[in-house]
Amino acid sequence: MNYLFHCRYLCLMLLVAFPVWAQSPVTGVDTTAFITSNSVMHATELLGQAPKFWGRYFEGPYQYNTAMESAPLHQANIRLLPVGDNTTNVDSGYASGQADGQRQAQAYIAALGEDHLVAQGGEFYIFLDVELGSGEPHLSPDYYRGWSHAVETYNAKVKLLPGVYMSASDTFSSKALTQAIAKGAKCYGLWIAGYLYFNKAAAKIPMKLPAWNQDHLATPKVLPSCYPSDSSTLSVDGSSCPVLFWQYNGNISNGSDLFDMDMMNPNLNTHAVLKRLALPPSSAPVTKPVHVSSSSSTCPSGMHLYTVQPGQTLAGIARQACGHGTPWTSITQQNGQPFTEASASRLAIGQPICLPSQCQ
């Protein structure tokens, strides 16, 4: 009975076969670094064609920078694959997942603009980062329930479709996601990390694309008898969770840039998948923190008070207001207390913070 229960839901998750839409694979990349015209050129050289999508983080130290990155993506017609960066927090409970989801949804919509997203259809994927790393936890069912509900219901005009970015070998998180779906959580797709090559120079890896799901590296290693399923349709209500993307190579260097290399599931309607990834606007104003009058400041000497705006992170404020190379640790809370890693990732709209005097 327990086997059949798990198989039922994992079969729904792993809709990756039956080549109804079989075609040449659509490829893309993801990075932690800012996207520039040079990195677009290097990604194109690496893939042998221009990437169709580009994965970037929302929230955390690698936050997408609208002012810098939207124009290169728009000019090259590259769609944005958003991932919420809270890997170290995903083993906590419902309330924590809900709070993280609200912040990541806010950051994504603020970065691209509500009207811009509505004009492109108003439904877009966003993935929770659960990829395994050194000392990083597995997903908990309650955290995913809170996170997925928060991102899907955050905005009345823009519907975000929750999914999970996870390692193929992470059986614990696969089971947790299955349990969350069984309790009513929505999952619209998976982005699976399973590497053929890792930490290599571009010249040291084959230029030829691997076959889809080569060595079963695009399949979570839980109950493989459920894979492949007999369907290749996209989820319309979040009750099934097909594999949408496979991150097949990781940390591949080309020029001065470091890339993960990704492939879209060729068995799905790739046009329909791409429609759920937004094309960034051609330009966007930089949202600066609001400068509060010094008469209301409770900041230490040599600092002044700012107010956090929608979608901002501490790392992003440090870059925008203080310039590149300024660490977020140079910013303090209104009472002069330093931020911890936890409090730095939980900024609230309107929260007063203290910036060094050289920051504008």
Per residue in 89-121, pLDDT tens? 899 999 999 989 998 998 899 899 999 999 999
Residue 131's contacts (CB-CB under 8 Å, 6 or more residues apart) are 87, 165, 166, 167, 170, 193
pLDDT (0 to 100) of residue 264:
95
Q: Which tops the pLDDT comparison, 56 or 351?
A: 56
Highest mean pLDDT, choosing among 153-157, 289-293, 350-354: 153-157
Report how far apart, in Å, the C-alpha atoms of 266 and of each of 18, 214, 232, 245 are.
10, 13, 10, 9
pLDDT tens-place string over residues 25-56: 899 999 999 999 999 999 999 999 999 999 99
Give the count of domains, the chain. 2
Helix axes 2-13, 171-182, angle to 10 degrees: 90
Angle CA 116–121–122, to nearest 5: 70
Mean pLDDT, residues 59-66 taken together: 85
CB 237 within 8 A of CB 186: yes
pLDDT (0 to 100) of residue 284:
58
pLDDT (0 to 100) of residue 341:
60
Q: Is residue 306 part of a domain?
A: yes
Same-domain check for residues 12 and 84: yes
pLDDT band at residue 222 under the 50/70/90 scheme: low
pLDDT (0 to 100) of residue 353:
84
**E-strand spans in 139-235?**
159-167, 190-201
Same-domain check for residues 133 and 204: yes
Q: Is residue 281 part of a domain?
A: no
Partnered with residue 303 across adjacent β-strands are 356
Q: How many helices and strands in the chain, by DSSP H and E?
A: 10, 12
The CATH number linked to 35 is: 3.20.20.80
Domain stop point among 242, 275, 308: 275
Q: Is residue 189 part of a domain?
A: yes
pLDDT (0 to 100) of residue 56:
98
Mean pLDDT, residues 265-291 taken together: 79
Domain stop point among 275, 307, 340: 275
Q: Is residue 235 part of a domain?
A: yes
Same-domain check for residues 262 and 295: no
pLDDT (0 to 100) of residue 84:
93
Q: Which tops the pLDDT comparison, 220 or 192?
A: 192
Same-domain check for residues 132 and 201: yes
> pTM, whole model, 2 decimals?
0.76
157 pLDDT higher than 70: yes
Same-domain check for residues 254 and 352: no
Same-domain check for residues 8 and 141: yes
Helix axes 66-75, 94-112, angle to 10 degrees: 60
Domain stop point among 275, 309, 338: 275
219 pLDDT higher than 50: yes
Q: Which tops the pLDDT comparison, 120 or 226?
A: 120
Range of the domain at 328: 290-356
Q: Which of 180, 276, 194, 263 is nearest to 235 (CA)?
A: 276
Same-domain check for residues 198 and 234: yes
What are the two backbone dihedrals, phi and then psi, of residue 359, each rounded to the nearest 5 degrees?
-85, 140
Q: Is 107 helix (H, G, I), strand (E, B) or coil?
A: helix
Q: Which tops the pLDDT comparison, 24 or 137?
A: 137
pLDDT (0 to 100) of residue 16:
41
pLDDT band at residue 232 under the 50/70/90 scheme: low
- Token pair, residue 79, equals 């769609």
Scored b (16 or more CB within 10 A) or e, 32-46 reads eebbeeebbbbbbeb
Q: Is 90 helix (H, G, I), strand (E, B) or coil?
A: coil
Q: Is residue 246 part of a domain?
A: yes
Same-domain check for residues 157 and 27: yes
CB 91 within 8 A of CB 98: no
Q: Is residue 280 part of a domain?
A: no
**Count of other CB atoms within 10 angstroms of residue 79:** 21
Q: Is residue 183 part of a domain?
A: yes
Q: What percent of the chain has pLDDT over 70?
A: 80
pLDDT (0 to 100) of residue 33:
94
Q: Is residue 282 part of a domain?
A: no
pLDDT tens-place string over residues 171-200: 999 999 999 999 999 999 999 999 999 999
Is the sign of the CA dihedral 337, 343, 347, 350 positive or negative? negative
Q: Is 146 helix (H, G, I), strand (E, B) or coil?
A: helix
Same-domain check for residues 79 and 186: yes
Q: How far apart are the C-alpha atoms of 281 and 100, rounded to whole Å?
A: 25
Report how far apart, in Å, the C-alpha atoms of 118 and of each of 93, 104, 122, 157, 278 are.
31, 18, 4, 7, 10
Same-domain check for residues 185 and 83: yes
Same-domain check for residues 253 and 300: no
Same-domain check for residues 88 and 166: yes
